[in-house]
Every structure is written in C-alpha cells, then in structure tokens.
Amino acid sequence: MSWILLIGLAFVAFGIAAYFLDLPRQVWAIFGTALALGMAGYALQGSPQQPGAPASLTDQQSENDVALVDARRAMFDDGFPPSRFVTISDGFARKGQFEDAAGLLKGAVEQNPKDAEAWLAMGLALTEHADGQVSPAALEAFSRSIEARPSHPGPGYFLGVAYLRAGDPLRTRAIWAEMLARTPTEAPWRSDLEMRLGRLDQALAVTGTE
C-alpha cells in the first residue's frame, strides 16, 4: 500500500512541476530524476537484496547530467562559445563529476569575474555535488552570476529551479517574482516568466502552501 501512495505522490509532484509550472522539457528529466532517486532510495532501504538497481540509476543520472548542462548552454547560446574552462568543466558535469567541474570553474571566474555563465555553471555544479541542496557556496555562485548579468534570465531561473527541486517552492516564487519586477516590459522572456510565476502560484494554491 505504501508503494501505491509513494508512486501517486511522485506523479502528482511531477505533474505540478511539468504542467502547472511548464518547466522546459530539458528540465523534466532533471526533476524526474530527483523523484526517481527518492523512490529508489526507499526501494533499496526496503529491499537491499534487489539486483541491478544501482546501474540503472547511474545510467539515468548520466542522461540528466547532460540535460542540465544542455539546458544552461541553450540559455546562454548567443553565437559565441563559452570560455575553455566552462567547456572542459561541462565535460565533467555531463559525467556527474560535479566536484571536478566546480574546481575547473574557479579558474574561469578568477580569469574573468564577470563571466556570468561560468558562475551559473559553478552554482549548478555545487548544487548537484551537494545532492540537490543549494549550499552557501552554490548560492554565492548563483548570486555572482546574477550580479554579472542582472538582465539575463538564466541565473535567476535556474536558482529558482534549484530551490524547487530542493522542496522550497516559496523561495522559488520569491526569486522569480523579484526577477519579474526588474524585467523590462519589452524583454522577450517576460511573458514566459509571468506565465511560470502564475502557474507556480496556482500550484501553491492547490497544495495550500502560503
């Protein structure tokens, strides 16, 4: 019976994130992995003798590591390649080697403290290295990314997604609302941000979160 409840809650959580919040398809896999890992942990604790689970989870996590990097790159694709540090660190991140990725990115931000994508990549790598929690070091990296390019939607958006995955949708709402307040009316992503914030409010209302 507990398995039915667990799977049901997982589907509800994914449905809210994917449809109410209209998360990009690149992020669906990331969010789905968080749910899958949670259920897998339950399964392994309840039935540690089950064979084959770690390998399948590793394969799935690898796919989601790639999706995370690709989603970030898509938001910063302005026709110019990222720094060599970011390019190399992305290779580590795609393999789930987030500590190594973050270490390389220190070189990028030391060389160019205004490299917003490098700071954002570091924030994401540090968050993944901390098992999906926004650590103080990760938050600092996200903040430096926002400072470097305050008009770019990427840093704030991904910081909001990180908190959503960590189970703190109210903080996600605060971040996205602040983004919207400083987004010019003519910005091409403003309407999309308004839609996501509206759907987040709907989800919070449905769950009774205030």
pLDDT digits (tens, 9 = 90+) for 37-61: 444 444 434 444 444 444 454 555 6
For 199, the 3-state DSSP assignment is helix
Q: How far apart are CA 164 and CA 162, in angstroms?
A: 5
Predicted pLDDT at 12: 46
Q: What is the mean pLDDT of residues 3-18?
A: 46
Q: How far apart are CA 143 and CA 31, in angstroms?
A: 22
Residue 57 near residue 44 (C-beta atoms within 8 A): no
Res 23 pLDDT > 70: no
Predicted pLDDT at 171: 94
Residue 5: CB partners within 8 Å, gap ≥ 6?
none
Res 95 pLDDT > 50: yes
Res 186 pLDDT > 80: yes
More confident residue, 188 or 55: 188
Angle between helices 84-94 and 116-129 (to 10 degrees): 20
Res 70 pLDDT > 80: yes
Res 67 pLDDT > 60: yes
Predicted pLDDT at 27: 46
pLDDT digits (tens, 9 = 90+) for 123-167: 999 999 998 899 999 999 999 999 999 889 999 999 998 898 888
Q: What percent of the chain has pLDDT over 70?
A: 68
CA distance from start to end of the chain: 30
pLDDT averaged over the chain?
77
Long-range CB contact pairs, 134-142, < 8 A, 24+: 134/159, 134/162, 134/163, 134/166, 138/162
pTM to 2 decimals?
0.70
Predicted pLDDT at 5: 42
Please, which pLDDT band fits residue 121 given cuts at 50, 70 and 90? very high
What tokens were used for 32? 């789905």
Predicted pLDDT at 62: 62
Q: What is the mean pLDDT of residues 12-19?
A: 48
DSSP per position, 77-137: -SSS---HHHHHHHHHHHTT-HHHHHHHHHHHHHH-TT-HHHHHHHHHHHHHHTTT---HH
Phi, psi of 192 (to 5 degrees): -65, -40
32: left (phi over 0), alpha (psi -120 to 50) or beta: alpha
Res 100 pLDDT > 90: yes
Residue 180 near residue 194 (C-beta atoms within 8 A): yes
Predicted pLDDT at 149: 92
What tokens were used for 127? 């968050």
More confident residue, 62 or 18: 62
Cα 121 from chain centroid (whole Å): 10
Residue 116 near residue 155 (C-beta atoms within 8 A): yes
